[in-house]
Chain A
Amino acid sequence: DAKTTQPPSMDCAEGRAANLPCNHSTISGNEYVYWYRQIHSQGPQYIIHGLKNNETNEMASLIITEDRKSSTLILPHATLRDTAVYYCIVRSFGQNFVFGPGTRLSVLP
């Protein structure tokens, strides 16, 4: 079973920041938080991952709370092309990825 909880859907205005929350209250010390997204009828796309420090790359920022029980994926300036299902996955060394239902993000013009 997935170890994360995400809202089933969210809307965001184009050009605004999209903040996608993820709850992983049972995360253990060696488990990383990964984010993937899946645009309609395409394969999932890796976005970012982190352990406890905040991370940023060209696609997004990942903010992990100090107790590591939740995190937020931030898309700083959402575009229509960011409309997708976003998956938050918790995974440790030697484990496979287990996808939960994810959050369906709709970026609105």
Chain B
Amino acid sequence: DTEVTQTPKHLVMGMTNKKSLKCEQHMGHRAMYWYKQKAKKPPELMFVYSYEKLSINESVPSRFSPECPNSSLLNLHLHALQPEDSALYLCASSQQGGLTYNEQFFGPGTRLTVL
């Protein structure tokens, strides 16, 4: 299995809702990442998990809360989002933590719309 899966593909939520994005990989990778991508812009790094521990938080607002329950799963919990948080949320994984030259493998993304 050489892919990163993300669910759901699309999500529409109100500003008072709580929802979660899920990412899964079965490649034995030990680093996992969340990126945010606004329309017609490049992906921007949000969080990095290395060996199931949060190693990087790129000053992301607390309404985004990541969780790594095990080495194959990565969640992004969403609460009290704003319309400007509407974007494509991408998950990626790499063989080891960030301290390598390993390439990252990306999932297809979850397209989030906040009303």
Contacts and interface: CB of A to CB of B under 8 A. Distances in A.
Interface residues of A, number: 22
Contact of B109 (A43, A98, A101): A43
A99 B98 contact: no
A46 B105 contact: yes
Interface in A33-59: 34, 41-46, 49
Chain B residues touching A, range: 20 to 34
Interface in B42-65: 42-45, 48, 56
Contacts of A95: 98
B104 A97 contact: yes
A64 to B, nearest CB: 15
Contacts of B41: 101
Given A94-B99, A96-B98, A102-B42, A45 B104 contact: no
A93 B101 contact: yes
Interface of B: 4, 33, 41-45, 48, 56, 88, 90, 92, 98-101, 103-109, 111
